[in-house]
Structure 1
């Protein structure tokens, strides 16, 4: 057959070309020529997607494939242009303005070491890649940029336990999800697995092998974790053949090489359809309904200092909310309570949870070294989810400091039925999360039961110097915000917002507070399922028809 290029790889190539040319020209509008022609200013756009994270990216690709002109509005930057140091992103040891969204100081979840404030640094205020939104007893970490949370997560592409998926989303056909949509999601995301033979001998995962040994001694199971980080690239990093990324402390502030973030997969494919335009640095502030024009969005455009430089409106016949649990929920709460979408019900803002996140550290014996070289991308977890009393899935996390610290770090995901809710605060024109420390206590108890067992067996203790005070457990933050616009409650069973035809939710706000694992594969697969049904039933109009 010669050198025929498959439609998918050709499409991705075209998408990369669009992203690269936008980066080279310093543009905030990313598209191919046909897409920009199909979405020029003026009349209503056939489809608008707010956000560029997992659910949004899936929706964009499938709308683009269906021939529907689509505009994506992203409040963060396009992260494609190297700074003066030659890198797009900064690392965790030497952060700068690229690290945080409009902050004067970094706010890493690991706040101290030996009770010293040596981890966080003052930085120049800039629209950086990681945001932390504080709500009293809970802080939520969010990705800001084209690709959303895929830019700042640990790449752990875990499919939830089927019996738990059936428990949290009983209205969703699990057989269809596990037979069709999870495989479709993992394939398009570029999920891969670490070579188990290389894992046993490499330096990159000495820290994980030590935690595995300690867990096995306590009678616990461990499991390899699939990833969207390219494990072959990691192997070459360790061999010194390519620039380091996972081995250069590049995790929560972005990753320069090796990671298959959404701009490398779904978003590139979406742009390559010729029907999708991404507008970066465009934040949607309000939604109203106009009988003649459909949904009308108030949009603020920022410059690189973070200042708002333009206020515009865009109208659309079909609006897809993909701004994440906090962003999408806030938009609908504001619309309901300010009267621009007054028919929204009391279900808006309900069912929020932090996926049971708890971080903790253990102090190892002096002879139990974790290694100076540590991959920033985890590849192993302690799987105690089937424990009837204390269900926990604990990621074995790195401490990529470049020196031996004798610390084992974990992000435990626990099964906590407690849920928070959002209300609209007119004084600040924002959503306020109602979640208190007491609601997180069960998560700490579950994590403590697991790690008490490990400490007892191995003669180790908790670290109490990592979270800014003397607490061994940190559960006042989450990387995994879920809920606020629950599937089957705020929406129908496919994400259509009740009472508002043409308005859809496509992100983690659909999921009631917990998945038991890192949630991005679940969000992706659920979005695949929902958009397939919407395209089949809702009469969206392709170009030229």
Structure 2
């Protein structure tokens, strides 16, 4: 397959069809058993190439998202050689258009993980369906479909940091005991949240610039309307380079947030893990990262450690070779869904039968609900909208909802406000092994979104009443108001102090750990990645002190 056929003609005209299709892309942004190996230990250096079959490694980390990156960095700094395996691509090579990531106005093969048709979070716009055919490719965004819900996840070195909006929110201290009841609040807020925020490069938008720049007119409208209905509007930290965005607005650097880039990767301004933890990881010289490697089995090895089977895949998802390695310790960091599915399968198929009955339980969607509102002409939201959210409406204490004021950057004036809500939805699902299909199922039901919708209404019904406005009904289908079939924030499945001990050690096996969003039981009250990072910092510090 040529670059041209994969990515599309980079110089093609911006047609009405591509505008409508691309609009939806941007709108959605706003989220073994076996004997012991007779092998010698292989040093894990940053330049040693893909992990080799037969290798014996001190530590194998499955996944390169927030938790896995924290674990690998701290282990390397403690002198441990680490191998990381990542199912997605490295995302370090430009495509035919000269950019690493696809433009959100024109999704191509780089945009989706092994799909031939886009699955955009907003499926319609102005009465038109907006999904399109694309070449099959190991693209950056996985729209993984379960019964009742689609879970959006990042695929590549850097995990979810590649595709999220970068909203780096620390939960209010008073909300934390309900999020992780077995974790000491003082140590998180005095030590681990500050450590995570520093290493992630978290910062706030300049309020004075916010008040004057064209690209946040939409957020100023959101603030005004929230305050007129009595709701507090709060600025939200982010990992975008705000100085870079100011230069984008001046036209002195290539546009990134102001070109709507987010859902399929951000080429310039966002500080994803590639620019923070993973850059530090590479600098240690003690960590090797193997992209396009998918772990299929982990089982105790005769003589100690764990036999791990790994499929190396090509960019169409086909297995090119199967490798077997021996790892002294294994960290599961494949994200809430990836880790939960793998552990559920390993327990049910007898590879890790001693995992306890909590495996697969406690999964939630962080209460995600999306919605749009139609504004009057005097509340224009602007044709230029930065794709990076910077503020939200807080009604958590009274109504169980926190709502991002999110962009709708179509390139035209829409007179509309758009939101991604995080709600206190109590419903939790379970992963289970389906022997008939040889797949892992999730028990989520679409009807379980209703509590989240009701909580979101605690904000938006009141704003609509105050402003004499209505909900948009053209974004999620025909005459459908709520985006209730998706989540950007999967959490749970290997819950801390239930499936694991209080630091992520998996019950039943020495040397196996979960260190990602699977540890958090379904909700964080805000965007979750700072909490995932801070918890990983806490846990790996204890593991290094006691297990190594």
Answer whether TM exceeds 0.5 for this pair: yes
Counterparts in 2 of 1:240-251, with a 5 A limit?
A: 240-251=251-262
- Structure 2 residue matching 1:399: 3-state secondary structure: coil
1:36-60 deviation digits (Å, cap 9, x = unpaired): 3997654420000000000000001
Report the Cα offset of residue 302 of structure 1: 1.0
Q: Measure how far apart 1:472 and its partner are.
A: 0.9
Match of 1:528 in 2: 537
1:428: how far off? 3.0
When residues 472 and 297 of structure 1 are mapped into structure 2, their CA distance, relative to the original with a 3 A threshold, is: same
The CA RMSD over aligned residues, in Å, is 1.5
Partner of 2:372: 361
Give the 3-state SS of the residue equivalent to 1:351 in structure 2.
Answer: coil
Structure 1 stretches of 5 or more lacking a match?
1-30, 540-545
**Match 1:116 to one of 116, 119, 128:** 128
User: What SS does the aligned partner of 1:409 have?
Assistant: strand
**Are positions 1:398 and 2:407 aligned together?**
yes
1:36 partner SS: coil
Q: How does 1:364-375 map to 2 (within 5 A)?
A: 364-375=375-386
The 1-side partners of 2:472 and 2:140 are apart by 29
Distance 1:362 1:43 in 2: 56
Given the alignment, which residue of 408, 415, 419 partners 2:424?
415
Q: Partners in 1 of 2:65 and 2:46 — Cα distance?
A: 23
Mapped partners of 1:162, 1:250: distance in 2: 32
* Counterpart in the other structure of 2:282: 271
Equivalences for 1:215-254 in 2 at 5 Å? 215-254=226-265
**Shift in alpha-carbon separation, 1:411–1:422, aligned structure 2, 3 A:** same
Q: Which of 509, 516, 523 in structure 1 is aligned with 2:518? A: 509
Aligned to 2:37: none
Q: Is residue 50 from structure 1 mapped to residue 50 from structure 2 by the alignment?
A: no
Confirm whether residue 295 of structure 1 aligns to residue 313 of structure 2. no
Aligned to 1:80: 92
Q: Deviations over 1:293-316 (max 9, x none)?
A: 511111111112322111111210
2:387 corresponds to 1:376: yes
Unaligned 5+ runs, structure 2: 1-42
1:447 is matched with: 456
Which residue number corresponds to residue 6 of structure 1? none
Determine the C-alpha separation between the residues in 2 that align with 1:479 and 1:281.
22
**Contact kept? 1:39, 1:45, Cα under 8 Å:** no
> Is 1:129 aligned to residue 140 of structure 2?
yes
- Match of residue 489, structure 1, among 494, 498, 507: 498
Q: Which runs of 4+ in 1 moved over 6 A?
A: 37-40
Query: 1:198 deviation in Å?
Result: 0.4
2:482 equivalent in structure 1: 473
Does the 8 Å contact 2:46/2:285 carry over to 1? yes
- Cα distance in 2 between the residues matched to 1:120 and 1:267: 33
Matches within 5 A, 1:309-388: 309-387=320-398
Q: Indicate if the aligned counterparts of 1:112 and 1:468 stay in contact, CA closer than 8 A.
A: yes
Quote the Cα distance in structure 2 between the aligned partners of 1:45 and 1:521: 29
What corresponds to 1:96 in structure 2? 108
Is the 1:293–1:316 Cα contact (8 Å) retained in structure 2? no
How far, CA to CA, are the matches of 2:353 and 2:361 in structure 1? 17
Query: How high is the TM-score relative to the length of structure 2?
Result: 0.90
Distance 1:441 1:43 in 2: 49
